[in-house]
Amino acid sequence: DASTASKASNVVEASNVSADAGPTAASGRGGAGRADPFGWLDGAARARAEAGLTRRTRPRVPDEDLLDMAGNDYLGLTRHPEVTGAAADAARRWGAGSTGSRLVTGDTALHGELEAELAAFYGTEAALVFSSGYAANLGMVTALAGAGAHLVCDRYNHASLIDATRLAKAAGARVSLFDHADAGAALAALGAHPAERRLVVSDTVFSVDGDLTDLPALARVCAEEGAALLLDDAHGLGVVGDGGRGALGAARIPAAERGGIVVTATLSKALGAQGGAVLGPQRVIRHLVETARTFIFDTGLAPAAVAGALAALRVLRAEPERAARLRETARRLAAGLGELGLDVHAPDAAVVSVGAPSPDAAVAWARRCREAGVRVGCFRPPSVPDGRSRLRLTARADLDEVEVKRVLDVVGSTRPT
Ligand code: PMP
């Protein structure tokens, strides 16, 4: 999620800042007078540091005594014994990797089983598993848009959807952005450029603030206009809807409007494994198998990840109350943070976002939380628009009362002064 881009324009501006600030006469030449091909990187890194935008990976330590409020293991399934057991068995049976593209050697019966069960869970005709949610989004959008298509996209879509639309644009599609979660604005954008192939593209649950798009209205607009609706339900599967059946179920989209809808999901959040999937009508899925470049030219998802996701899906089906518990925990967290006087969004899903005064303040606040034993997410531009840096806390179904209280104490007592 650290690469989530809330605004396409923001990302472009931010990357220009870094790149343009780089080259200098001194750093552009090596000692022997030869050009230094990466000399400009030093200036770019300096510019990011000055803007408070340095980023580092930070390895997790197994069993470390940190309460994790930054990950996406929403249902607490990544370490569930049935999930890890199924993953380990599949690795022993099939190997650590899938050995090739699904169209060559990378397919197993497990992949088909997961696809059938995911489709049944979502109530779609078919599903197709990809190696990540990112790859699923790229594959879905580029295979369904093409030269002459018109893509109408929510301004705050996830970075993977933005990259997908950039690729579609390079292939000759027209791209329009509409105001966040505004179905009327999507309708106006559709009308502005008539095209034979029109596709509205949106997250269902937005990953930074955890707010929802107005799915019933968006689906109605698309059905009336004869436009396809492409949705990213990465933060919806396992979280929203009865039993965590995702955004389509939560929004109670009528069957008549479902024929034009295609959804992506990730297996790496609520299902605790790794990978992604596209769900939709059979003919769409067949088209993706034969044309989606991130399906054809990518190594198939590792069998261990497939088996882990399948086991997690079965746990979720058997224990549908996990999703409701997760949403209740998110509400309790948000209410508690609000009572502390912090700037919090009321959560519609599992994400609880807390405003910070500046990028530097957000980084320092997250560090103080970590030092006090609670890991929280920290979002700064270009992941969010300028002026909207924040901490992001992700609720989990397995958090108890004592842990929720500890989170509130730590986030409250370490707040910027
Ligand atoms: N879409 C959204 C909204 C996401 O938050 C993410 C994960 N950051 C993805 C897609 C990508 O999914 P994955 O991590 O499985 O590639």
Residues 353-382: pLDDT tens digits? 999 999 999 999 999 999 999 999 999 988
Residues forming CATH 3.40.640.10 domain(s) in the chain: 81-318
Rounded to the nearest angstrom, the distance between the alpha carbon of 161 and the centre of ligand 1 is 9
- The average pLDDT across 31-35 equals 77
Q: b/e string for 359-371 if b means 16 or more Cβ within 10 A?
A: bebbbbbbebbbe
Between 55-69, 110-124, 270-284, 325-339, the lowest mean confidence (pLDDT) is in 55-69
Mutate to test the pocket of ligand 1, among 160, 180, 235, 237 (most ligand atoms within 8 A of CB): 160
- 397 and 74 in contact (C-beta within 8 Å)? yes
The amino acid occupying position 261 is: I
Rounded to the nearest angstrom, the distance between the alpha carbon of 264 and the centre of ligand 1 is 10
Mutate to test the pocket of ligand 1, among 158, 161, 235, 351 (most ligand atoms within 8 A of CB): 158
What is the C-alpha separation between 247 and 215, in angstroms, rounded? 8
Higher-confidence residue of 160 and 25: namely 160
| Residue 302 DSSP code | P
* Of 255, 234, 228, 258, residue with least CA distance to 246: 234
Task: Give the ipTM of the model, two decimals please.
Answer: 0.99
Each residue's pLDDT tens digit, 306-334:
999 999 999 999 999 999 999 999 999 99
Mutate to test the pocket of ligand 1, among 137, 230, 266 (most ligand atoms within 8 A of CB): 266
The region, left, alpha or beta by phi > 0 then psi within -120 to 50, assigned to residue 268 is alpha
Q: What is the mean pLDDT of the chain?
A: 91
Ligand 1 pocket residue status of 158, Cβ below 6 Å:
yes
Rounded to the nearest angstrom, the distance between the alpha carbon of 230 and the centre of ligand 1 is 15
HSE-CB at 252 with a 13 A cutoff on CA atoms is: 1
Ligand 1 pocket residue status of 157, Cβ below 6 Å:
no
pLDDT band at 20 (very low <50, low <70, confident <90, very high): very low
Ligand 1 pocket residue status of 266, Cβ below 6 Å:
yes
Q: What is the pLDDT of residue 74?
A: 97
The structure tokens listed for 342 are 């912090």
User: What CATH class does 81-318 carry?
Assistant: alpha beta
Higher-confidence residue of 208 and 282: namely 282
Instruction: Tell me the CA distances in angstroms from 87 to 79, 83, 120, 130, 132, one per residue in order.
Output: 11, 6, 22, 17, 16
Nearest CA to ligand 1 atom 15: 133
Ligand 1 pocket residue status of 203, Cβ below 6 Å:
yes
- The average pLDDT across 389-417 equals 96
Ligand 1 pocket residue status of 383, Cβ below 6 Å:
no
pLDDT at 208 over 50: yes
Each residue's pLDDT tens digit, 273-287:
999 999 999 999 999
- The average pLDDT across 49-74 equals 87
The amino acid occupying position 149 is: A
pLDDT at 260 over 90: yes
pLDDT at 150 over 80: yes
pLDDT band at 31 (very low <50, low <70, confident <90, very high): low
Ligand 1 pocket residue status of 1, Cβ below 6 Å:
yes
Q: For residue 260, which phi and psi values (nearest 5 degrees)? A: -100, 10
Number of helices followed by number of strands (H, E) in the chain:
16, 11
pLDDT band at 32 (very low <50, low <70, confident <90, very high): low
Ligand 1 pocket residue status of 298, Cβ below 6 Å:
no
Residues forming CATH 3.90.1150.10 domain(s) in the chain: 67-77+320-413
**What architecture is domain 67-77+320-413?**
Alpha-Beta Complex (3.90)
pLDDT at 159 over 60: yes
- Predicted model pTM: 0.91
Ligand 1 pocket residue status of 268, Cβ below 6 Å:
yes
Ligand 1 pocket residue status of 329, Cβ below 6 Å:
no
The structure tokens listed for 401 are 């009362």
Q: In what order do the strands lie in the sheet with 351-355?
A: 67-69, 374-379, 390-394, 351-355
pLDDT at 257 over 50: yes
Q: What is the pLDDT of residue 29?
A: 55
How large a percentage of the chain has pLDDT more than 70? 92
Rounded to the nearest angstrom, the distance between the alpha carbon of 205 and the centre of ligand 1 is 11
Rounded to the nearest angstrom, the distance between the alpha carbon of 143 and the centre of ligand 1 is 19
Ligand 1 pocket residue status of 132, Cβ below 6 Å:
yes
> What secondary structure does DSSP assign to 201-241, as a single string?
EEESB-TTT--B--HHHHHHHHHHHT-EEEEE-TTTBTTSS
Ligand 1 pocket residue status of 210, Cβ below 6 Å:
no
